[in-house]
């Protein structure tokens, strides 16, 4: 008996909920006095930015990056750096970074990765073949770092972001250096980030990540500029040639350093 009575109640509940949903939608559409609010889909905006970057075969951009001291390994002061990046998809990246620590260069030509410390005349080269995404993952895994601004450099930025965020939220429209942008909040497990994406060209203009797993919630702030998605870059641009007098040194693998430290720590 009670089983038979359950169906009408359930159906009534479903109809009630559907009626509520439909009426809510109708009310919103029928409001004549409300200002026209464009519903922005943050995932779509992030996807659009990623696609814009991914579809540019050769591109260059500049960025100013500020790292709070707590995010600088071995550092006790914040780091401000001017970064220039050149990309030739799918395999090649070159970056030049000028900071208080000097001038550093990064090269990836699809076969090798090289680092150069210009001031100290030191360099390292390791074999790392594959696409930019392969290279970024391998560097991260073996050597514990990625090229500057790797999230925006890889061939599939959307996938890269997706591994680091739980949810996205559109926080409105704001101007960054005179450019009208959509502001998105990307919530993640380790860090939350805000990214400002130009409404006109879908390119990132500002990025601020706040690390929740550290005391003081330190931040990395990046301002992007000088985007050129139609750059003409020849292959030699990405080939590393050690300058005269530079010495080749080791690029330490994370596991080796851990093993060495553990060995030294023995009584």
Interacting residues with other proteins between 135 and 154 (CB under 8 A): 137, 139-141, 143-146, 148-151
Sign of CA dihedral 154, 156, 158, 161: negative
Nearer to other proteins, 28 or 166 (CB): 166
DSSP letter assigned to residue 8: H
Nearer to other proteins, 178 or 245 (CB): 245
- Site mask for other proteins (CB under 8 A), range 90-129, x = bound: -----------xx-x-x--------x-x--x-x-x-----
- What are the CA-CA distances from residue 178 to residues 13, 42, 175, 201, 229 (Å)? 51, 21, 5, 14, 20
- What are the CA-CA distances from residue 233 to residues 51, 112, 238, 250 (Å)? 20, 18, 9, 29
Binding range to other proteins, per CB under 8 A, among 27-35, 84-92, 176-184, 257-265: 257-265
The neighbouring-strand residues paired with 224 are: 63
Binding range to other proteins, per CB under 8 A, among 53-61, 172-180, 228-236, 242-250: 242-250
Nearer to other proteins, 12 or 230 (CB): 12
**Rounded Cα distance, 82 and 64, in Å:** 5
**Rounded Cα distance, 263 and 47, in Å:** 47
Query: Which residue bears the tokens 């514990």?
Result: 144
- What are the CA-CA distances from residue 227 to residues 22, 44, 47, 84, 174 (Å)? 44, 21, 18, 10, 19
Collapsing DSSP states into helix, strand and coil, what is residue 148?
A: coil
Residues in region 161-200 near other proteins by CB under 8 A: 162-168, 188-191, 193
Task: Compute the half-sphere exposure of residue 28: CA atoms within 13 Å on the CB side of its CA.
Answer: 9
Residue 50 sits in the site that holds other proteins (CB under 8 A) = no
Nearer to other proteins, 235 or 256 (CB): 256
Nearer to other proteins, 215 or 226 (CB): 215
Q: Could you tell me how far CA 104 lies from the centroid of its own chain?
A: 20
Residue 38 sits in the site that holds other proteins (CB under 8 A) = no
- Tell me the closest approach of the beta carbon of residue 146 to other proteins, in angstroms: 5
Nearer to other proteins, 37 or 200 (CB): 37
Binding range to other proteins, per CB under 8 A, among 50-58, 64-72, 86-94, 235-243: 64-72
- Site mask for other proteins (CB under 8 A), range 222-241, x = bound: --------------------
Residue from 107, 196, 211, 240 that binds other proteins (CB under 8 A)? Answer: 211
Please provide the size of the chain in residues: 267
Residue from 29, 37, 200, 250 that binds other proteins (CB under 8 A)? Answer: 250
């Amino acid at each position: 008996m009670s089983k038979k009575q359950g169906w009408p109640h359930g159906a009534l509940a479903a109809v009630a909920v559907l009626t509520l949903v439909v009426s809510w939608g109708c009310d919103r559409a029928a409001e004549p006095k409300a200002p026209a609010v464009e519903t922005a889909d943050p995932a779509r905006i992030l996807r659009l930015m990623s696609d814009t970057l991914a579809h540019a075969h050769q591109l260059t951009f500049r960025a100013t990056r500020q790292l709070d001291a707590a995010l600088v390994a071995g550092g006790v002061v914040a780091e401000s750096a001017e970064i220039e990046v050149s990309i030739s998809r799918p395999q090649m990246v070159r970056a030049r970074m000028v900071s208080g620590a000097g001038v550093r260069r990064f090269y990836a030509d699809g076969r090798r990765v090289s680092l150069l410390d210009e001031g100290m005349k030191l360099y390292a080269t390791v074999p790392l073949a594959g696409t930019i995404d392969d290279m970024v993952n391998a560097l991260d895994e073996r050597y514990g770092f990625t090229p500057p601004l790797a999230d925006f450099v890889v061939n599939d930025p959307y996938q890269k972001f997706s591994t680091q965020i739980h949810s996205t939220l559109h926080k409105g429209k704001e101007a960054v250096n005179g450019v009208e942008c959509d502001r998105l909040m990307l919530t993640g497990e380790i860090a939350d980030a805000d990214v400002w994406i130009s409404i006109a060209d879908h390119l990132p203009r500002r990025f601020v990540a706040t690390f929740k797993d550290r005391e003081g919630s330190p931040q990395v702030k990046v301002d992007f500029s000088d985007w050129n998605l139609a750059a003409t870059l020849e292959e030699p641009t990405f080939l590393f040639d050690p300058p005269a007098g530079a010495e080749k040194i080791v690029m330490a693998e994370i596991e080796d350093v851990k093993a060495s430290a553990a060995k030294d720590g023995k009584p």
